[in-house]
Amino acid sequence: MSDIWHPKSAVITGGASGIGLAIARELAGRGVTVMLADLPGERLERAAGMLPGALTHPCDVRDLAQVEALADAAFERLGEVHLLLNNAGVGGPRGKLWEVDPEAARAHFDVNFWGVWHGCRAFAPRLIAQDAPSAIYNTGSENSFFCAVPQSAAYIAAKHGVLGLTESLREDLPAHVHAGTIIPGWVYTAIGPEQFMKPGMPAEDFAAIVVPQLLERRRFVVSHGYNTVRIAERMDELAQSYAEFALPPEEDAKYDVRLVMEQLRKAQQS
């Protein structure tokens, strides 16, 4: 088990409802000062009233300027930001891929992918500069690893993108700034129709599972064990194709990008 980390402050986009608000409550119960960021309006105000001591800041994550302003406000009001959750998200357009309006798909990516990118871009340099141990967590999905809901190409592609973005970001950061992906399964939130979402895991139960993992600075923060069955369905077929058709690793090493780049780096240093 990893050492327990004790952040004192957190900024959560999409913090006015659902997973964001549930995690905010769990963190606040552990003494963390929370700033909730969400679209302006009654929902954000109501969420603040549920969490005494919570700060709020209106923010549309589709707009980089607004996310930069959120980062400025967070550091001004909190002093230091120890935990960032790029959590804001919406349900995507449904239908067979060729039936979905491309503009609707692009608009979806503006929130579920670019909103996460904007949060990383705005906060990462500030977290690096402050020196204190910190973490960026991006909310992916079980749909980052497999197709949980049919005919949801935009949502599934965006969540795959969040996983890739986060994995790349990890390598850009210094040791004192961690990055990881939160991987919810089916959780009862307002991201979809209530009759469909209601059988999902209660958000407060989800938060109780994932917050301890955040405090251990895990790379992957998980909740729904049956996901491993679905992931294996894809990975088993992938492994079978590699076993049957790919060059063996010892023969293919000369084509491995990482190995070649390391060899080139060593050659330049010598």
Domains along the chain? 9-225 (3.40.50.720), 234-270 (no CATH)
pLDDT of residue 187: 93
Over residues 166-179, mean pLDDT = 98
Over residues 56-60, mean pLDDT = 97
Over residues 162-182, mean pLDDT = 98
**Bridge partners of residue 37, in order along the sequence:** 13, 57
pLDDT of residue 3: 73
Catalytic residues: 155
Confidence of residue 1 (pLDDT cuts 50, 70, 90): very low
Q: Give yes or no for a contact between 214 and 83, defined as CB atoms under 8 angstroms apart.
A: yes
Specify the pTM: 0.95
pLDDT of residue 193: 75
Pick the range with the lowest mean pLDDT from 34-48, 157-171, 190-204: 190-204
Confidence of residue 270 (pLDDT cuts 50, 70, 90): confident
Query: Which class for 11: exposed (0-12), middle (13-18), buried (19 or more C-beta within 10 A)?
Result: buried
